[in-house]
Amino acid sequence: MRITSKAVRQLAEQDIIHRSPALSRSINRRRFRANLGCSSRVCSYVWNRIVAKGILPKGFLPTHLLWTLVFLKLYCCETILAILCGCDEKTLRKWVWKGVDLLGQLNLVSQNVWDAHHQTIC
């Protein structure tokens, strides 16, 4: 099932960010990026790549991808993430690590980019 960036934004606003209708659109977008580390467009692109590759585990939902992105962006303890995501630690752990594995399978960063980045740091 494909998903649009608008649907991703609505899902995140409903489950994680708790959007305020009183705030401007740009502030809500900034909050989305601050919590998930990327735009809703990038989230929908990643989800659609996972679906297109046929690597979607049974039961893995777009919400679980959002949890994974929050985990990677904030990298705080499981208890805090579970509160943010509205689930228990065991459920969070199960789906987040499946999501991390999925992101790794997408090969979104090529080895050439990694090598070039690593050489400039060292």
Q: Give dist(CA 114, CA 68) in Å, integer.
A: 22
The confidence band for 81, taking pLDDT boundaries of 50, 70 and 90, is very high
Domain assignment of residue 49, given as a range? 5-121
pLDDT tens-digit profile of 50-73?
Answer: 999 999 999 999 999 999 999 999
Based on the structure, what is the number of domains in the chain?
1
Q: What is the pLDDT of residue 10?
A: 87
Q: Tally Cβ neighbours within 10 Å of residue 36.
A: 25
Structure confidence by residue, pLDDT tens digits, 1-37: 889 999 998 888 887 776 677 778 888 888 889 989 9
Task: Quote the pLDDT of residue 103.
Answer: 94
Given this model, what pLDDT does residue 53 score? 94
Sign of the torsion formed by the C-alpha atoms of 75, 79, 82 and 84: negative
Q: What is the pTM of this model?
A: 0.82
List, for residues 84-103, the tens digit of each pLDDT value.
Answer: 899 999 999 999 999 999 99
CB count, 10 Å around CB of 43? 24
Percent of the chain with pLDDT over 70: 86
- Separation between Cα atoms, residue 96 and residue 84, nearest integer Å: 13
Q: Is 67 left (phi over 0), alpha (psi -120 to 50) or beta?
A: alpha
Residue range 34-48, pLDDT digits in tens = 989 999 999 999 999
